[in-house]
Structure 1
Amino acid sequence: MIRHFASAAPRLRRMCVLALGAGTALTLAACGSGSDTGAAAKPAASKSPAPQGIITIAAAKAVVDSYESANNRANKARDERLLSTVESGQLNEQSAADYKQYPTWSAKKKKEYGTSFFYQNRTYYIPAAGTASWFAVKATSSYGDHPEALLIFDKTGGSGTYKMTMAFYTPKDEPFPTIAVDKYGLAQVANPSQKVGERSPSELGGLYEDFFESGGTKKAAKVFASSDSSKESTKVYQERNDGKLAAYTTKKYFAQDPAHPTVYALKLAGGGVVTGFPTAHTQEEMLKPQYMSSFQIGPNDEEAVYDQSKRTVITDTFQGQGLAEMSPASKPKVLSIEYRMTDSR
């Protein structure tokens, strides 16, 4: 799924967990406030002490409950400072953009954004201590058509506090890959720099931007398996010069370094990796040479939030985050990708 110009659903992450032991991959049924139910596989017997996760289930519950409370209040008030206490990374870049562009939305969209929601059917994927600084949660959103989500919580900025740094949503018709856990129920982290087949997770963000730069003809179409996300990204390129300004302007895309470069990767049960990667690009809309001295381009409502002036070139920055399944035997498949305009000049 790709959202290039439009904002997505409000980001309220409500998780409930059963406080079991240290670091177990835990699947939970639906729950509301004060209702913790579910079960986890029992660790296999071992003569040596079982390895511990980077965080206990009880502590993970506290992290996500804190996120829920702060995000719910922040969304209603569009309070960036409050949200930044529980959210970071590419996700926070996008959320901050939502808050800035909120005045341009319809009344219906504003109401939807301020409505609380939570996640059901949750599974926590907690790596062993010493293998990672982050953990993941797979869940079903109560919002809209109940898409499946993968959420990443990491310690960022040297604060020592877990914050949500990435969130991905996959369509119902896109089966979510099975994440690997060891005999103790701990998630197995993959090295983002290690190749899975011909590419590594850390390469995907830069390569994906070719769908916007060239429609995928230079690199991306050869690297990635076809998916709804890749098709929609290619469509953005193909339709870049459609519309009422097409006779006067030319639109181009240029890959950029993402604001937050961290890549996350977990091993899959059947081999391979599922990875969350950051990505970014600029969109440049420029007057054709013959109109440079006589005309200027007026920004749209979202662009005007950052710069209201008319100009001969409008350059918009988009920060994105993508989720991909990687297999040694096939091309990486992007399951979900989403962008927000975060600046215009």
Structure 2
Amino acid sequence: MFRPATRAVHLRRLTALGLGASTALILTACQGSDGSADNTPRTTATQSSSPRGLLTKEAARQAVDTYVKINNRANATRNPGLLNTVEDGQVYEQSSADFEQWDTMTDKDQKWYKSPFYYEDREYLIPAADSGASWFAVKTYSSADTKKRDILLILDKVDGTYKVVMSLYTDQRMPKIAVDENGFISPAAPSTKVGSLAPSRLSATYEDFFETGGKRIAGKTFAPTESSKGSIKVYKSGPSDEVKDYAREKFFAKPPAHPKVYALKLADGGTLAFFPTAHNSELMLEPQWMSSFDLTPGDDEAVYNDAKRDIVVDEFQGQALAVLNPKSKPRVIGIEYRLVDSR
């Protein structure tokens, strides 16, 4: 999903142009567990020589269950410190922003956010112990999602604890992930090119959709998807009708708060990459109107800075999922941004 293209505004001469930045309320932070038992057999002495995974499926299940339990409790009480014990990375940037902007949500959204829900039909994607990876993934569904879209979670070792560092719905079904004869996935090096692009270059290339509408490089690099089309729509929309005669909007790529990229190999020889991404949106009055008007931040922006001003700079932190193939253009199959600051 992507940030909506429109801003709700109204014009007030000499005092303010009311600026409302609406961000997508896609509550990836509050996912849950299926609570199902794992039937993985215990390791015995006769199995000790078999290749080991980074962790067992039982340990992976327990890590996810712990995340779910703490996550639901943190969401109910809006406790970012508690959530940070089981969540980190880009998804925590977004979750903590939800807590900060809590009072701007509708009663309906607040009720939905606080309601516990669960992960169903989990598929644990665990690398071998000698793979060099510190993380594992989980493909799952949310019990609250009637569309039953794929969700991918990444749990990485942070301060000695497995924490969810990325979590995202996809716009289309995920391709088949490569699994070896021992049932382990194969992590891919983010710096290694797959076709025209390496996973580590995805963010910088993708942000061109916001900066130029994809005219510079992104439009030639990526295959069209729901995510990329939505990003172009944001670029083209510009300021709302009431503000467009007085202000301009531009986007500027910025380094994500948590730059680590996670990649794993696919059964068809391609790579699935989970990458962080970020940009600033700058809405600025045209010089000739700066002495006559001010921009008044919207409710979400006012959480961070409620001062009327000539320029409103919003920071959006995001996470995205891409499919890279040696013989075709990369496809972004899920993307989500959240407003995390305004100044």
Which residue of 1 is the match for residue 66 of structure 2?
66
The equivalent position to 1:246 in structure 2, one of 241, 244, 247, is 244
Which residue of 2 is the match for residue 20 of structure 1?
none
Which residue of 2 is the match for residue 284 of structure 1?
282
The TM-score normalised by the length of structure 2 is 0.90
Which residue of 1 is the match for residue 37 of structure 2?
36
How big is each residue's C-alpha offset from its partner over 1:230-287, in whole Å with a ceiling of 9 and x where there is no partner?
A: 0000000000133311111110000000000000001001111000000000000000
Identify if the C-alpha distance between structure 1 residues 37 and 162 changes in structure 2 by more than 3 Å, giving closer, same or farther. Answer: closer
Counterpart of 2:27, as a letter, is: A
Q: Is the 8 A contact 2:194 2:324 kept in 1?
A: yes
Unaligned ranges ≥5, structure 2: 5-22
- Partner SS for 1:238: helix
> In 2, distance between residues paired with 1:196 and 1:10?
28
Alignment of 1:6-155 (within 5 A): 6-9=24-27, 11-15=29-33, 31=34, 33=35, 35-36=36-37, 49-131=49-131, 132-145=133-146, 146-155=148-157
- Partner SS for 1:251: strand
Counterpart of 2:82, as a letter, is: L
Unaligned ranges ≥5, structure 1: 16-30, 41-45
Alignment of 1:217-232 (within 5 A): 217-232=215-230
Q: Is the 8 A contact 2:3 2:234 kept in 1?
A: no
1:130, distance to aligned residue in structure 2 (A): 2.9
Alignment of 1:247-266 (within 5 A): 247-266=245-264
> In 2, distance between residues paired with 1:238 and 1:38?
51
Q: Is the 8 A contact 2:151 2:170 kept in 1?
A: yes
Report how many residues are paired. Answer: 320
Q: Is the 8 A contact 1:9 1:112 kept in 2?
A: no
Which residue of 2 is the match for residue 21 of structure 1?
none
> In 2, distance between residues paired with 1:189 and 1:50?
20
1:37, distance to aligned residue in structure 2 (A): 5.5
Identify if the C-alpha distance between structure 1 residues 37 and 236 changes in structure 2 by more than 3 Å, giving closer, same or farther. Answer: same
Counterpart of 1:176, as a letter, is: M
> In 2, distance between residues paired with 1:38 and 1:10?
28
The equivalent position to 2:342 in structure 1, one of 308, 329, 344, is 344
Counterpart of 1:263, as a letter, is: V
Stretches of 4+ moved more than 4 A in 1? Answer: 37-40
Alignment of 1:197-236 (within 5 A): 197-236=195-234
Which residue of 2 is the match for residue 323 of structure 1?
321
The TM-score normalised by the length of structure 1 is 0.89
1:316, distance to aligned residue in structure 2 (A): 0.3
How big is each residue's C-alpha offset from its partner over 1:117-153, in whole Å with a ceiling of 9 and x where there is no partner?
A: 1111110000011320000000011113222101000
Q: Is the 8 A contact 2:211 2:252 kept in 1?
A: yes
